[in-house]
Each structure stands twice: as C-alpha cells, then as structure tokens.
Amino acid sequence: QWFNSAIAFAGNITMKPYPQIEGKLKFDKIGIDKVLSMINKSDTSNSNIHFRIQLQADAGSFKNMPFGQLHTNIVMSDSIFKINDLSANFLNGQLTDINFVNEGVTYSLNGKINHADVRQLVQLAENFGFTQIKKDNVAGKINVSVQLNWSEKNNKIQYDKMLGEFNITITQGRLIQYEPIKDIMKYINIRNPEDIRLKPLQIEINIKDNNIWVKPMEIQSSAIDFTVWGNHSFDNQYEYHFKFYLTDILKKQNQTKMQNIPVTEVEDSTRMAVVFLLLKGTGSQYKISYDTQSTLTRFRERWKTEQKTLRSIIKEETGGAKNTEATEKMDSHNKTNRPIVIMEETAPGQEQPKKPAKTDAKKRPGIEWKDDDN
C-alpha cells in the first residue's frame, strides 16, 4: 500500500521489553515522500520503538525526482531518529556521506552531492517552492557540500534560527535568458546577454538571521567579468551588489558595437576605476540602480589608505617624528577641508559617446576642495 514494491527483510524482531527491529531491508522501489509522510504521522517523539536497519533500494523517487542504488543505515533510539552514510545516484550525480538527525523539534543535515545536473537541482528547488530562477535559465554541472541546522515550532520551520553553510562549485555553467542578469548587462550597455557562459565558479553561502548570505565571488563570463555578493531573505526580499571594472565595460562596449571597428584600448594598469550596481527587490519585482553606498565605502577606504601612506612619507622625510609641524598642518587641513564627491549618473539607455576612452571632462566624477581661504 505504501511502497508498491517487493520488500525483503532479514533480521531480528523482538517485542520485550520494548519493540526492537534490527536487520537488512531491501526494496525494489521506494517513495521517500511516502516514507517521510508515514514518519510524520507517527508520534516518534513518544515512541518506545527501537530499530537499526540497513536499507537498500534499487530505485525510487523524492519530490518526483528519480534516484537509484540507495544505501543507508537508519537508526531509531531514545526518540532520536538518524539516517547515516546515505549514498545514491540522484540528479544525474552522486549523493555521498549524507547524515540526518532528528531529535524532538531540532534537525541537522550534512553531506555532499557531486557532478549533479544544475537544471535538475533547480527543478528540485522549485518543488520546495523556490521560484527565483527556473530550470530553463541554467545549465552545467555542480558539486555541493552542506551543513544545515534548524528547528520547528508548531510543525513550521523557524527560519530565524536556521544556520547553514554551503560550498558550491559549478563547471560548464550557463545563464540562459535570465532576466535579472540581462537587465544588469543592459544597464551598462553590454549586448547579447541572452546566453552567458561561465568559467568554473566557486560560491560560498551562509544561512543566518533569516537570510541567505552570498559571499563576494568573482565571475568570469562570456559577457563580462564581475564580482557579486548579497543576501536573500526567506521572505523573498533580496539585495545583490555588482562590481565591474570600468576598463572591462569600455572594452566590451566597443566590441559589441561593430566588429569591423578596432577596439580602443584603455590603459588602466591599476584597475582601480570601478562601477557598482545594486539589484534590490521582492519576488519577481526588482529595481537596478547605481550602488552609491558601495561606491562611497570604496572611496573612504582609498582615502584612508592614501592618508596613511602620506603620513608615512612625511614621517620618513622628517626623521620619524611623531608629531611634526607638517603632519599637524595636514590633520588641520583634513578636518576643515573635507572632500566633496561629485557623481553624475547616466540614465540607463542613454546614448554613449562614440569614443568611450575620451570621456567629456564635464561628465567625469571629480573631487572639489572647499578651502576656508576661498
């Protein structure tokens, strides 16, 4: 009734002093969703049943996704339910070292999946209600290692108490007709972002405080190289930051205009000129804008670094004195003459200059000093 499968059991069953089952259990086919439903309906927290079973299934399904060659050890003792060392062929890849523990209302999960199909993994996520990206928008192979801890209250997951770490590697990755990335590329006038191919990619994700936090990662792609980081809440609110090098944008703009026009090389050996963008929204509704906060943060960091460098030079030239007249003058000047950053934004879709390397001086971001003498 539950499994619609041939079942073979070899082992021992005793009823005193409490029910105990120990042995090997084999299925030709098993539905994991039905098993979990059966476990949830039974009050295992107050159960005196103890069992230790080596489980094997030739085939089966989980969330309508097929798997094969499942092997694991299942233990129930003192109201603690464990799945140890689970392995299976799943998502066109391999599950290994999967361990799951349920004690009362607390849960933990850790394990790995290797060489899985990205599209099938996204399809599995869709079955859990994740709809931010569709399986048709992605392609590639993925390796994932995960550690996850959570608890429930009134049979609902307490996301604000969930903790987790994910380490992800993607190879042969592609983003296909993915609207947020297409809009980001159009915002900086990068053409043909419909099918973006990615070089091998490392992603680190933490789960904490009701949010999924994506650590800064460098992405090398067929469209343009960039860095991205951000957070995504379980309420489906998100904020992602993008960093592009200005030289890369200018080169790509020239390359995508007309192939018979030579690329204008822009010298920028320091690669310090950057453009920050912000993608912020809820659900499928989002807005793209210049990321002023990240820009100002970067400016402040550079400003502090340059001040420290200048102080060091002054100290060396004045014999290492800690409070020379020169440094005192510099401190006084910095306190009364703070820089004002003038940033002029170009609206998306505005026509770009024919020669991006020769930007009109009137439109360049600049620094204006306000002196007391003036």
Domain-embedded: residue 355: no
Q: What is the pTM of this model?
A: 0.72
Domain-embedded: residue 357: no
Question: For residue 89, which of 108, 109, 61 has the smallest C-alpha distance?
Answer: 61
Number of neighbours of residue 369 by Cβ within 10 angstroms? 10
Question: For residue 353, which of 81, 361, 279 has the smallest C-alpha distance?
Answer: 361
Domain-embedded: residue 311: no
Domain carrying residue 62: 1-90
Q: What is the pLDDT of residue 301?
A: 67
Number of folded domains that form the chain: 1
pLDDT in single tens digits along all 374 residues of the chain: 445 678 898 999 888 888 888 999 999 998 888 877 776 665 555 567 788 999 999 999 998 899 999 999 999 888 899 999 999 999 999 999 999 999 989 999 999 999 999 999 999 988 877 778 899 999 999 999 999 999 999 888 899 999 999 999 999 999 999 999 999 998 888 877 889 999 999 999 999 999 999 999 999 999 999 999 999 999 889 999 999 988 888 888 766 554 443 333 333 444 557 888 999 999 889 999 988 777 667 656 666 676 677 667 666 766 655 555 555 555 554 444 433 333 334 434 444 444 444 444 444 444 444 444 44
Ranges of beta strands (E only) in 32-105 are: 50-62, 65-77, 80-90, 93-103
CA 197: distance to chain centroid?
18
Domain-embedded: residue 330: no
Residue 340 Cα distances to 299, 301, 304, 365, angstroms: 11, 15, 15, 11
Domain-embedded: residue 363: no
Q: What is the pLDDT of residue 308?
A: 72
Answer for the pair 361, 353: CB distance below 8 angstroms, yes or no: no
Domain-embedded: residue 351: no
Domain-embedded: residue 317: no
Domain-embedded: residue 104: no
